[in-house]
Amino acid sequence: MFSLRKISLLVAVASSCASPVVFAEGEVALDSLVVTGTRSETSLLDLAGNTGKISEEEIDFVRADHITEVLNRLPGVMVQRGNGQEHLTSIRSPILNGGAGAGSFLYLEDGVPMRAAGFANVNGLFEANAEQAGGIEVVKGPGSALYGSNAVHGLINVLSRAPSLDLERSIDVSVGPHDLYSTKATVSDTIGNQAYRFSLNGTHDGGWIDDSGFDQQKMTFRHDYYGEKDTFKTVFNASNLNQETAGYEVGTEAYKNTVASKTNEYPEAYRDAKSARLSMRWDHELRDDAYFSLTPYIRHTEMNFLMHFLPGTPVEENEHDSVGLLAAYYKDLEGGHKIIVGTDFEYTEGSLSEVQNDPNTYTFGKYVPGVHYDYDVDATVIAPYIHTEWQVAENTRITAGARYEHTRYEYDNKTADGLTGTKIYRPADRDDTYNNFSPKLGLVQSLTEDTSAFINLARGNRAPQTTDLYRQRKESNNVLQADSETIDSLEIGIRKLGAGIQYEVSSFYMKKKNYFFRTTADDNVPDGKTKHYGIELSMFAPLGEQFDLGGSLTYARHQYEFDNETANIVDGNDMDTAPRHIANVRLGWNFKPQSRAELEWVHVGQYYTDEGNAQTYDGHDLLNLRATHHLSHDVTVYGRISNLLNTEYAERADYSGFAGDRYFVGEERGLHVGASYSF
């Protein structure tokens, strides 16, 4: 006989694989179950902290060409698209780049990190098969107590789509502007106690800007096995990207010149990347109230690209290979209590080289031609953790947990030690060790059957990125050393689920130290201090039988808490690329059963583009219109008009000391259409 937990897994599979989405009054817009917050299925009403979710149905409705189109529907999240598949992320933070951008956000697939902690990639989300996912969950604020390094400001967990109970086969084709073509296919079935899903997609983009575009392919294979005492979930993911990259458009408000904004300033720029990951989660039931989980995994990533955003436009090549194990024991105690004890292990072998072919030495020999860096790094991470939940009263639940993470880097420099030029510094061979402790404490108070309030205290830590440690810049005759970054967070919120109006309101306050970042003058700061506070709202409200209103609103401040005369930073300055207001509001119309239209308003407020708060971008407002219609049980047609009002805007604006105002220009109005067929 199946246990209750096993039966719930099967029900989850069945519900996630139901045939076409039915858009109806009272549809749950704030999903009631999440898995990321505790590494096991949990009701949102019982969660101490904030986890946003994009459902499988929402992924299928939006049919995003870029993951930003679905993630930016959540409060507190702003992912800015660069060119092609590139992007930079903000989760309760400014947009962060470099080592800070790579190391502040953890990207997962089914709970397994897509990259090793010290080898992260700011563009890491393009490696995830979000187009065919079963859901995307976002933890906002520190997630380090359970997930460790890189979950400082938040984490994004892309969930693979579960297999179907019956044979399912489908193909989806779409076309868009500038020779944008996309094809998706999937086949899935359950046979006895085994189930599988194979999904494949490919995209060709001719590029909106001259001499740009990309070809990308992704695949996911998932196999599930359900036994009497054991379940196995095996997932294999692979991706390939070949991109001709358009760089920034340079010049004040250059994005407002339509003709000039289509000119590629760096026609030689490119990015080629490959990744593959294999994991197998084994859950073994010991008793009705206890089980353990083991998830071994392996990964490989490699990337080669022109760094068009740096002086000298060097070429970087990096790769790493990892083996890891996530081990956990889950126990339900009498009285509604729960305990999770686990340890994460990972070993990684990585390498990086940076070579400048441009003969220009830039500013008194700072960036000389030739090899800038060439090194190998072996990394070992061992991280035990504990998560507990205590039902201290009928309507009161306390959560407490902690994680201790040991990180060791073994660095081997393969070129000459010391300076090359006046800026590039290569450390000698060495080992570095970091030990970080991340506690958390939360309280959930049930107010009614469908409403709860929560308070959450958490600390996030991360060891430095290997690039921060070993790809160093010499500053004023000093070599700067990175230390572990630490953030402390307080969050208070209330959420309501169920029928009728649904909402979640949360406020947060965070302070961070040892913030290692690069300024607009391309200087490194190793010991920055910042504070972050704000309020977020997500809501869904039915408006009669056919209409509904949903969306998210965020007000936040992200400020420096130190002085730095060289970078013109004054205590209290706003951090650059940190709009105080962002919003995504959607008016939906279920004009027929299983057919829906949606008008979306996207708002990004004004923000500074430099640390001294001297340069600004005015922000923008966009309207998008999308619709899907089921012609029959087997055939669906859909379409989208992006940037409906043809607004001139920048996806991303920043300021560079060597180039001035720079922009990734937003696309003009475009029509996308497609159809899917199930057979």
In which band, very low, low, confident or very high, does the pLDDT at 41 lie, cut at 50, 70 and 90? Answer: confident
Residue 4's pLDDT is 38
Closest CA to 351 of 303, 391, 397, 290: 303
Mean pLDDT over 198-202 rounds to 98
Q: Is 312 exposed, middle or buried (0-12, 13-18, 19+ CB in 10 A)?
A: buried
pLDDT tens-digit series, residues 562-590:
999 888 999 999 999 999 999 999 999 99
Q: Is the pLDDT of residue 522 over 80?
A: no
Q: Is the pLDDT of residue 28 over 70?
A: no
Mean pLDDT over 167-175 rounds to 98
Strand-strand pairing, 154-160 and 105-109: parallel
pLDDT tens-digit series, residues 47-76:
888 899 999 999 999 999 999 999 999 999
Q: Where are the beta strands (DSSP E) in 227-337?
A: 230-244, 249-250, 270-287, 290-306, 315-332
Distance between CA atoms of 481 and 434, rounded to whole angstroms? 13
DSSP secondary structure, 107-176, as one string = EEETTEESS-GGG--TTGGGGS-GGGEEEEEEEES--HHHH-TT-SSEEEEEEEPPPPSS-EEEEEEEEE
In which band, very low, low, confident or very high, does the pLDDT at 475 lie, cut at 50, 70 and 90? Answer: low
Express as a percent the part of the chain with pLDDT over 90.
Answer: 78
In which band, very low, low, confident or very high, does the pLDDT at 353 lie, cut at 50, 70 and 90? Answer: very high
Between CA 130 and CA 140, with CA 134 as vertex, the angle to 5 degrees is: 70
Strand-strand pairing, 180-191 and 105-109: unpaired
Q: Residue 462: how many CB atoms within 10 A of its CB?
A: 31
Instruction: Judge if pTM exceeds 0.85.
Output: yes
Between 607 and 101, residue with greater pLDDT: 607
Mean pLDDT over 324-340 rounds to 95
Q: Residue 214: how many CB atoms within 10 A of its CB?
A: 22
Q: Is the pLDDT of residue 23 over 80?
A: no
Residues 271/245, Cβ–Cβ less than 8 Å: yes
Q: Which of 21-25, 57-61, 297-301 has the lowest mean pLDDT?
A: 21-25
Mean of per-residue pLDDT scores for the chain: 91
Residue 365's pLDDT is 82
pLDDT tens-digit series, residues 623-677:
999 999 999 999 999 999 999 999 999 999 999 887 899 999 999 999 999 999 9
In which band, very low, low, confident or very high, does the pLDDT at 476 lie, cut at 50, 70 and 90? Answer: low
Domain residue extents for the chain: 4-678
In which band, very low, low, confident or very high, does the pLDDT at 281 lie, cut at 50, 70 and 90? Answer: very high
pLDDT tens-digit series, residues 119-155:
989 999 999 999 999 999 999 999 878 888 889 999 9
Please say whether the structural domain 4-678 has been given the CATH code 3.50.50.60. no
Residue 312's pLDDT is 87
Between 181 and 12, residue with greater pLDDT: 181
Residue 31's pLDDT is 55
